[in-house]
A = this chain, B = another copy of it.
Amino acid sequence: MTELGAITRRDVVGGIGMGLAAASMPALAATPGRKIGYAIVGLGSYATRQIMPNFVGCEHSRIVALVSGTPAKLEQYGAQYGVPKTHWYNYGNFDRIRDNPDIDAVYIILPNSMHAEYTVRAAQAGKHVMCEKPMAISVAECETMIAACRKAGKKLMIGYRSRFEQYNRLAIELARGGHVGPTQIITAEHGFYARPNQWRLDRPLSGGGSLMDIGIYSLNATRYLTGEEPVEVVASESTDKSDPRFATVEDRINFLLRFPSGVAATCVSSYSSAHNSYRVIGTQGYIDMEPATPYEGHSMRIRKDGQVTQRTLPPAAKTQWAGQLDHLSEAILNGTDVIVPGEEGLADMRVIEAIYRSAREGRAVKVQA
Inter-subunit contact A275/B185 (CB<8 Å)? yes
Please, which residue of chain B has its CB at the minimum distance from the CB of A184? Answer: B273
Q: Is A235 an interface residue (CB 8 A)?
A: yes
Give A346-369 interface residues, CB cut-off 8 Å to B.
358, 362-364
Inter-subunit contact B264/A185 (CB<8 Å)? no
Stretch in A3-11, A162-170, A254-262 touching the partner:
A254-262
Q: Is A215 an interface residue (CB 8 A)?
A: no
Chain B contacts for A262, CB-based, 8 A:
238-240
Q: Give the number of residues in A that approach B within 8 Å (Cβ atoms).
A: 39
Give A185-204 interface residues, CB cut-off 8 Å to B.
185, 187, 189, 191, 193
Q: Is A267 an interface residue (CB 8 A)?
A: yes
Chain B contacts for A282, CB-based, 8 A:
273
Inter-subunit contact A185/B258 (CB<8 Å)? no
Inter-subunit contact A185/B263 (CB<8 Å)? no
Query: How far in angstroms is the closest Cβ of chain B from A225?
Result: 14
Chain B contacts for A264, CB-based, 8 A:
236, 238, 252, 254
Inter-subunit contact B238/A266 (CB<8 Å)? no
Q: Is A272 an interface residue (CB 8 A)?
A: yes
Q: Is A16 an interface residue (CB 8 A)?
A: no
Inter-subunit contact B184/A270 (CB<8 Å)? yes
CA separation between A189 and B188, bound complex, in Å? Answer: 12
CA separation between A264 and B270, bound complex, in Å? Answer: 10
Q: Is A103 an interface residue (CB 8 A)?
A: no
Chain B contacts for A193, CB-based, 8 A:
283
Please, which residue of chain B has its CB at the minimum distance from the CB of A243? Answer: B262
Inter-subunit contact B238/A263 (CB<8 Å)? yes
A236-B234 CB under 8 A given contacts A185-B268, A193-B283, A272-B184 = yes
Inter-subunit contact B187/A189 (CB<8 Å)? yes
Q: Is A232 an interface residue (CB 8 A)?
A: yes
Query: How far in angstroms is the closest Cβ of chain B from A194?
Result: 11
Chain B contacts for A270, CB-based, 8 A:
184-185, 281
Indicate with 1 or 0, residue by residue over A277-294, a CB within 8 angstroms of chain B CB atoms: 000011101100000000
Please, which residue of chain B has its CB at the minimum distance from the CB of A264? Answer: B238
Inter-subunit contact A187/B268 (CB<8 Å)? yes
Inter-subunit contact A191/B187 (CB<8 Å)? no
16 contacting pairs across A/B (C-beta < 8 A): A185-B254, A185-B268, A185-B272, A185-B275, A187-B189, A187-B268, A191-B281, A232-B236, A234-B235, A234-B236, A234-B256, A234-B364, A238-B258, A254-B256, A274-B281, A275-B281
Other than A236-B258, A238-B263, A255-B256, give 17 A-B pairs with Cβ distance below 8 A.
A185-B191, A185-B268, A185-B273, A187-B187, A187-B266, A236-B256, A238-B258, A238-B262, A238-B264, A240-B262, A254-B256, A266-B268, A270-B281, A273-B282, A274-B281, A274-B286, A363-B363
